[in-house]
Chains A and B, each alone.
With several copies, the nearest count.
Chain A
Amino acid sequence: MLVKIVDHIDINEAYGYLQSPDTGAVNLFIGTVRNHTKGKEVVKLVFEAYDKMALKEMNKLAAVAKDKWPIDKLLMLHITGEKKPGEAVVAIGVTSSHRDASFEACRFLIDELKKTVPIWKKEFFIDNSVWVNAHP
């Protein structure tokens, strides 16, 4: 299980961790910065985390997933700092003997991460910036 807050996500490293001769199915989800949101051009994103708590919450989710599905390897990486369009901000990976489990667990982890893990994203447009989800 590899759960980390990092500066940069390296896909090769992530896959290297997930690859296993014991199991045949790897599902990897990568969230990247989009160059637009609601019709406005996005210049960059800045992420900050309550690191200690974010790691705790991510580890809780990983434990729930391991209870629900037969998982061989599990990876959750989230960056903090500044990222430009196209760059990876989150990587979730699950290796299992069954592709059902790898898809479902990966989906569960990214969905739940977005709900509970204390990480915040600020979108920078050409003329202003906003904390995403802050207001209804």
Chain B
Amino acid sequence: MMEDCTDRKLGDQTKNERMDVILFGISRDIVGEKKLKITPAENIQTVGALKQWMKQKYPQLEKLSSIAIAVDSEYAEDEQNLFDENEVAIIPPVSGG
């Protein structure tokens, strides 16, 4: 049983070798890309962890008025887990209207 699980997990990691993070507005300008590819090696498991990782890697994100993460196009709490199949996006302060 344990071996089965491990197998599946390894299989998934092979299929999805990275998490895509979609970027908009100023966060895209800061990162310099429309999509950021994060490898499994970074071991980012939650929304909060992703925020931390992003801010460390791109210190200018820290200066924004706020930063949110959307998972599958819904605002997500820091505690929420991230899975390979999720669509993840950084939401800098909105300014529509």
Please report A residues at the B interface, Cβ cutoff 8 Å: 31, 47-50, 52-54, 56, 78, 89-90, 110, 113-122, 131-136
Contacts and interface: CB of A to CB of B under 8 A. Distances in A.
Interface in B71-95: 73-75, 89, 91-95
Nearest to A60: B74
Given A53-B70, A117-B94, A135 B25 contact: no
Contacts of A135: 63-65
A106 B91 CA distance: 25
| Most-contacted residue by chain B among A115, A118, A121 (CB, 10 A) | A118
13 contacts: A49-B96, A50-B24, A54-B96, A89-B97, A90-B97, A114-B96, A118-B70, A118-B89, A131-B25, A131-B92, A133-B65, A134-B95, A135-B64
Interface residues of B, number: 20
B29 interface: yes
Contacts of A116: 75, 94
Nearest to A92: B97
Contact of A53 (B26, B65, B74, B95): B74
B26 A131 contact: yes
B22 interface: yes
A131 B60 CA distance: 14
Given A52-B73, A53-B89, A134 B96 contact: no
